[in-house]
């Protein structure tokens, strides 16, 4: 692992006991998905993942609850840099970055002292999220040293220059990869949400899309996320799953030759026998 990325507490490396010595990239105020502003510690154990987690007691005190880690995979990052200040206030001295701001070179180290009670730097990391959507994480860094450390880490991890973004074809490749991942997850969820047919008609499998059970909630959410990304990418939407009864019945006949012979001799009766109810 490279050791060029350094912060106040040194580079990430392997300790004597084999554990990873994390790279501490400073502390940040981060806007969560719920719109709350919370303090996080920003760390890295390798070049693959940027981790926002619980700050140390020295920085957070007794009022700091355990944070659910927020992880950005560096392979999904499409750009990063200092963002313009949006005058929206979020409590005592907390500034917010406009999601729509353009990325500008963090080497400018634009201080936000006039906007907050302490000198701070509004930083934006743009990335393709797990749903294939272009997303931006906005954070507030508290020192120029933290800005340099984060910019240096992201440059090493992504190969991008601060303030520069991936071109459209490469960004599309990331979204296409996310689409494949979503399709795989949807198919897996579909299997878990399938309801087997009765013993005498195992081809009558159906899918639970009610949203009443945990498995059906997962498959409905997977279906919606998949179609949302397909729409963004200009691809045709998929329909809700319908059991492939004809295919399943033919497969069942192939492993039951006597029944297949009967069905061949009695097509009308076999059609009635094949029919599934409540599909």
Beta strands of 16-104 (E only): which ranges?
20-21, 23-31, 37-44, 49-53, 70-73, 77-82, 85-89, 95-97
Rounded average pLDDT over 207-217: 87
Q: Which range has the worst mean pLDDT, 13-27, 34-48, 140-154, 245-259?
A: 13-27
Here the tokens at position 170 are 């490469």
Contacts of 232 (CB under 8 A, 6+ apart): 132, 133, 175
In contact, 249 and 203? CB cutoff 8 Å: yes
CA atoms within a 13 Å half-sphere pointing along the CA-CB vector of 261? 3
Separation CA 38–CA 30 (nearest Å): 5
Domains in the chain: ranges and CATH:
13-164 (2.30.29.30), 170-274 (no CATH)
- When pLDDT is cut at 50, 70 and 90, the band that residue 60 belongs to is low
Cα-Cα end-to-end distance for the chain: 55
Residue 250, burial from CB neighbour count under 10 angstroms (0-12, 13-18, 19+): middle
The mean pLDDT of the chain is 76
Separation CA 13–CA 78 (nearest Å): 26
Q: How far is CA 58 from CA 55, 62, 63, 102, 233, in A?
A: 8, 9, 11, 34, 46
Using one digit for the tens of pLDDT, what is the confidence trace for 93-137?
233 333 333 333 333 323 333 333 446 777 888 899 999 998 888
Rounded average pLDDT over 156-174: 89
Here the tokens at position 98 are 């406009």
Say what the pLDDT of residue 9 is: 45
Place of tokens 């730097």: 121
Q: How far is CA 31 from CA 28, 34, 90, 114, 121, in A?
A: 10, 8, 10, 20, 14
pLDDT of 242 strictly over 60:
yes
Which of 135, 153, 47, 37 lies closest to 95 in space, CA to CA? 37
Separation CA 36–CA 72 (nearest Å): 19
């Amino acid at each position: 692992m490279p050791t060029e990325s350094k912060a106040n507490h040194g580079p990430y490396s392997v300790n004597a006991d084999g554990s990873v010595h994390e790279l501490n990239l400073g502390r940040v105020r981060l806007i969560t998905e719920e719109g709350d502003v919370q303090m996080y510690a920003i760390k890295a154990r390798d070049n693959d993942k940027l981790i926002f987690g619980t700050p140390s007691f020295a920085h957070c005190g007794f009022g700091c609850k355990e944070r659910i880690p927020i992880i950005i995979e560096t392979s999904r990052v499409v750009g990063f840099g200092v963002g313009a200040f949006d005058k929206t206030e979020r409590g005592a001295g907390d500034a917010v970055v406009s999601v729509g701001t353009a990325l500008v070179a963090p080497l400018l180290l634009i201080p936000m002292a006039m906007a907050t009670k302490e000198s701070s730097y509004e930083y934006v990391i743009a990335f393709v999220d797990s749903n294939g959507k272009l997303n931006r994480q906005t954070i507030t860094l508290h020192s120029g040293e933290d800005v340099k450390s984060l910019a240096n880490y992201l440059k090493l991890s992504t190969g991008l220059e601060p303030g520069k973004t991936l071109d459209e074809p490469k960004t599309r490749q990331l979204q296409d990869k996310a689409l494949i991942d979503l399709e795989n997850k949807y198919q897996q969820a579909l299997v878990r949400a399938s309801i087997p047919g009765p013993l005498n008609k195992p081809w009558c499998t159906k899918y639970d899309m009610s949203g009443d059970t945990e498995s059906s909630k997962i498959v409905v959410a997977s279906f919606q996320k998949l179609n949302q990304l397909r729409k963004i990418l200009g691809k045709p939407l998929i329909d809700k799953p319908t059991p492939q009864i004809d295919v399943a019945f033919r497969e069942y006949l192939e492993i039951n030759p006597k029944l297949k012979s009967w069905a061949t001799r009695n097509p009308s009766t076999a059609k009635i026998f094949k029919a599934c109810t409540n599909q």
